[in-house]
Structure 1
Amino acid sequence: MNRPLADEIRPRTLDEVVGQTHLLAPGAVLRRIIESGTNANMVFYGPSGTGKTTVANLIAQRTNRTLYRLNATTASLQDIKGIIADVGTLMAPGGVLLYLDEIQYFNKKQQQSLLEFMENGKITLIASTTENPYFYIYSALLSRSTVFEFKQVPPEEVERAVLRGLEIEGHRLGLEINWEKEVPLQIATACGGDVRKAINAVELLCQSAIPENGKLKLTSEDALQVAQRSAMRYDKDGDAHYDILSALQKSIRGSDPDAAVHYLARLLEAGDLLSPCRRLLVIAAEDIGLAYPQAIVITKACVDAAVQLGLPEARLPLAEAAVLLATAPKSNSAHNAIIAAMEDVAHGKTGEIPRQLQNVHADTTGFDNRQNYKYPHNYPNHWVEQQYLPDAIRGARYYEYADNKTEQAARRYWEEIKGKR
């Protein structure tokens, strides 16, 4: 049975690794560490298919330590104890190099079981994760390790691997392979920076092509079918999900409607309807706010329509909301006001509610029936001066008028009225 092409094409030297030049280029820190043979505990963080396992294998080749591999999705505490039991024996006389894939799936106790042996140098740990290690990895383990971030591989780098994969697959099939000019870059672009996905697409494309006169012809249309949707990196509980939502909000806050609809499209293409609905409502209140108070009303109508329509039609009202919010004037004055007020409350800056603001039933206690509340609607311009904040924070300022037309109009209105004594 043939090995998977992605396994057969795996680089055997650092120079064959595509991408990650910030880590592996001549003179880069990680490359110097690997070439020196230093036994350092490391955490490789980044998307799948970017070379984490490959680099770990290359490190293993340069050490005289026994290599153990565990995947945290299936490994148990007993597996760790079994590895530790081999330390110092004939099974691992020079110590253990442990490659632990998907470490984020290990609980705190499982991670802690490695600490003593990492401390005394009997275990050198290389852990990989697709999630932010500072959220998922025990701090004591992180303090003994160096984190290296692997990034999505750019299409021009992935194309090198695709061309190499096409060459190897031709040898394996014993056929000459021809392809339309745009096919390699098309596959490289569609994989979303995941080299493994690109190589799997190459293998599937070649195996599905029909030989003619001892040759295979790969077409752009077939490549598109094989690679479709493969560029999507999305996990509702993973970093990619929150990265896209963050990019959506920051694009709208930055008044870029093109970027806004791009990130909205990525969410909808992944079949996620509720997340963008909730985030657009947040944006309307947090980033547009009082500069255009109708924005949240319109956004709510668009969200309601989207939920009622469902996908794919939901894309239309949500796109309308995203473009509206991106092109609307911006104000975070209400956001800043509530944050400041909640900080005071959280720190105990409250005080007793002024007597005149207390509920009217307080007058029935018999201690004091003179509430002295002034009803603003009984006064000119529906306003009268009286104290509203507790004595403890009297004079506190949480809200500041922002410099947009709507809030400046409100400021002028109230300055005129409150200026009349």
Structure 2
Amino acid sequence: MNPLADRIRPQTLDDVVGQTHLLGKGALLRRVVESGQIPNMIFYGPPGTGKTTVASIIANSAGKTLHKLNGTTASTSDIKSVVGELDTFAGVGGVLLYLDEIQYLNKKQQQSLLEFIENGQITLIASTTENPYFYVYNAILSRATIFEFKPVSKDEVKKAVERAFRIIGEERGAPLDIEDGVCDHIAQLCGGDVRKAINAAELLSLAAKDGRVTLADAREAAQRSSMKYDRDGDEHYDILSALQKSVRGSDTDAALHYLARLLEAGDLISPCRRLLVMASEDIGMAYPLAAVIVKSCVDSAMQLGLPEARIPLAQAVITLCTAPKSNSGVIAIDKAMADVEAGMVYEIPAHLRDSHYKGAAKLGRGNGYLYPHDFKNHWVKQQYLPDKLKGRQYYQFGPNKTEQAAKAYWDKVKGESKE
């Protein structure tokens, strides 16, 4: 017997759980489907959100010869077989190719479809759990419309779970006795993945004693299943991005939440590296000591390992969130890098060049250099940038207390030297 998720797969768009932003009345994808003119489309989103279901519904109503391929198993000969049908009677009205997990096809395989997609002989509906902008060939992307599928809400998943238990009861000839809280628990811990929720319902029904599904069994079946995480996928970088933006926005609670998600997934290296970057990128000159504190916390975390590592890393996150913010340092180095990358690498002034070798003076190396420590306040005016960059300014003091104090000091020192 097929898995329950396949047996109860929706047959119409109205039966699909969630995705109202795409399939609700008046939504763009629904209007496109109802027009009867199916364009090339790519469905992108997490597993169990209805991509395959919606693609199948559209394909079955398209009135074209339908071919289904899966990128994990499809070979070049499979693609050639689809293309070869275009010149036969079966391909007269065009072919609709449903390609699941397109990210697993290599560039050459994707390119082999391009000519036929462009002239309309093949209409492509592809689905992927990975960001298509990273994994799908650009020429395919430019000829397709991308629709993003979102994780299904808890309430919608609960409806699917209740429907699953009801159908299981019908198949076995007697309704299941579902303990209060079972459906809510499955819906909560399946992370918006309807397929996972239905699979959990099927598993619990098989294990049910005398037809009773208990909350204790549901907790065991669904434990940790809400953690959607792939260290090489979008979820990984999305969490890291959210962590840094929460720190930058001084939201301690949000930052701790995203740190916890990384640590719960067993990822210690990524948050450590990102916290080290944040200390200089987002706090920087407003509180330079933050870099020292975070380095110490990271070192402690790496020596301790999980679960104890959570404590110094939480300290680092709270320190960064509550610290004053400045990005003046990263702005300054980016400006300097931009000039260097643009080829603005001019001759170093002679008085700054190395003079620690015999004959340097004859070449003019170091001649005229003024040693700042010999002057009041250990500063003396002289040129340091190359002639063609004289007067160029990369760093500007930020408005925070620390940088403004430094600015006041140097304004005074440099002002005194001019008197």
TM-score (norm 1): 0.95
Which of the numbers 383, 386, 389 marks the counterpart of 1:387? Answer: 383
C-alpha contact 1:162 1:199 (8 A) present in aligned 2: yes
Alignment partner, residue 11 of structure 1: 10
**Which amino acid in the other structure matches residue 180 of structure 2?**
K
Alignment partner, residue 152 of structure 1: 151
Alignment partner, residue 68 of structure 2: 69
**Which amino acid in the other structure matches residue 305 of structure 2?**
G
Q: Percent identity?
A: 62
For 1:351 and 1:42, how far apart are their aligned partners in 2? 51
For 1:16 and 1:295, how far apart are their aligned partners in 2? 53
Instruction: Quote the offset at 1:362 in angstroms.
Output: 6.5
Alignment partner, residue 127 of structure 1: 126
For 2:364 and 2:120, how far apart are their aligned partners in 1? 75
For 1:369 and 1:281, how far apart are their aligned partners in 2? 39
For 1:100 and 1:33, how far apart are their aligned partners in 2? 19
Alignment partner, residue 347 of structure 2: 352
**Which amino acid in the other structure matches residue 394 of structure 1?**
K
For 1:389 and 1:180, how far apart are their aligned partners in 2? 76
For 1:411 and 1:342, how far apart are their aligned partners in 2? 23
Consecutive unaligned residues in structure 1, runs of 5 or more: none
Equivalent runs, 1:112-123 vs 2, <5 Å: 112-123=111-122
For 2:352 and 2:233, how far apart are their aligned partners in 1? 47
Alignment partner, residue 137 of structure 1: 136
Partner secondary structure for residue 176 of structure 1:
coil
Alignment partner, residue 39 of structure 1: 38
Alignment partner, residue 412 of structure 1: 408
C-alpha contact 2:352 2:366 (8 A) present in aligned 1: no
C-alpha contact 1:267 1:276 (8 A) present in aligned 2: yes
Instruction: Quote the offset at 1:208 in angstroms.
Output: 2.1
Alignment partner, residue 300 of structure 2: 305
Which of the numbers 326, 351, 367 marks the counterpart of 1:331? Answer: 326
Alignment partner, residue 236 of structure 1: 231
Alignment partner, residue 311 of structure 2: 316
- 1:251 equivalent in alignment to 2:232: no
Instruction: Quote the offset at 1:6 in angstroms.
Output: 0.9
**Which amino acid in the other structure matches residue 132 of structure 2?**
P
- 1:275 equivalent in alignment to 2:270: yes
Alignment partner, residue 284 of structure 2: 289
Partner secondary structure for residue 147 of structure 2:
strand
Instruction: Quote the offset at 1:90 in angstroms.
Output: 4.1
Instruction: Quote the offset at 1:94 in angstroms.
Output: 2.6
Instruction: Quote the offset at 1:383 in angstroms.
Output: 0.8
**Which amino acid in the other structure matches residue 67 of structure 1?**
L
**Which amino acid in the other structure matches residue 195 of structure 1?**
V
After superposition, the Cα gap between the structure-2 partners of 1:369 and 1:399, relative to the gap in structure 1 and judged at 3 Å, is closer
Alignment partner, residue 216 of structure 1: 212
C-alpha contact 2:166 2:175 (8 A) present in aligned 1: no
For 1:125 and 1:270, how far apart are their aligned partners in 2? 36
For 1:17 and 1:162, how far apart are their aligned partners in 2? 13
For 1:362 and 1:125, how far apart are their aligned partners in 2? 70
Partner secondary structure for residue 280 of structure 1:
helix
Alignment partner, residue 206 of structure 1: 205
C-alpha contact 1:206 1:218 (8 A) present in aligned 2: no
Consecutive unaligned residues in structure 2, runs of 5 or more: none
Alignment partner, residue 394 of structure 2: 398
C-alpha contact 2:204 2:213 (8 A) present in aligned 1: no
Instruction: Quote the offset at 1:245 in angstroms.
Output: 0.3
C-alpha contact 1:41 1:146 (8 A) present in aligned 2: yes
C-alpha contact 2:96 2:125 (8 A) present in aligned 1: yes
After superposition, the Cα gap between the structure-2 partners of 1:246 and 1:387, relative to the gap in structure 1 and judged at 3 Å, is same
Alignment partner, residue 109 of structure 1: 108
Post-superposition CA distance 1:33-64 (Å, at most 9, x none): 21222131111111111111000110111122
**Which amino acid in the other structure matches residue 222 of structure 1?**
D
Partner secondary structure for residue 420 of structure 1:
helix
**Which amino acid in the other structure matches residue 113 of structure 1?**
S
**Which amino acid in the other structure matches residue 405 of structure 1?**
K
Partner secondary structure for residue 177 of structure 2:
strand
Post-superposition CA distance 1:130-149 (Å, at most 9, x none): 12212221121112111111
Instruction: Quote the offset at 1:224 in angstroms.
Output: 1.9
Partner secondary structure for residue 97 of structure 1:
strand
Partner secondary structure for residue 87 of structure 2:
coil
C-alpha contact 2:351 2:365 (8 A) present in aligned 1: no
**Which amino acid in the other structure matches residue 348 of structure 2?**
I
Instruction: Quote the offset at 1:99 in angstroms.
Output: 0.8
C-alpha contact 1:280 1:299 (8 A) present in aligned 2: yes
Instruction: Quote the offset at 1:180 in angstroms.
Output: 3.1
**Which amino acid in the other structure matches residue 390 of structure 2?**
R
Instruction: Quote the offset at 1:226 in angstroms.
Output: 1.2
Instruction: Quote the offset at 1:388 in angstroms.
Output: 0.9
Partner secondary structure for residue 284 of structure 1:
helix
C-alpha contact 1:363 1:370 (8 A) present in aligned 2: no
Instruction: Quote the offset at 1:72 in angstroms.
Output: 1.1
Partner secondary structure for residue 419 of structure 1:
helix
**Which amino acid in the other structure matches residue 140 of structure 1?**
A
Post-superposition CA distance 1:335-371 (Å, at most 9, x none): 1100111011111122111111111247624333562
Instruction: Quote the offset at 1:294 in angstroms.
Output: 1.0
Instruction: Quote the offset at 1:379 in angstroms.
Output: 1.1
- 1:24 equivalent in alignment to 2:23: yes
After superposition, the Cα gap between the structure-2 partners of 1:309 and 1:66, relative to the gap in structure 1 and judged at 3 Å, is same
Partner secondary structure for residue 67 of structure 1:
strand
C-alpha contact 1:175 1:216 (8 A) present in aligned 2: no
**Which amino acid in the other structure matches residue 339 of structure 2?**
D
For 2:322 and 2:102, how far apart are their aligned partners in 1? 43
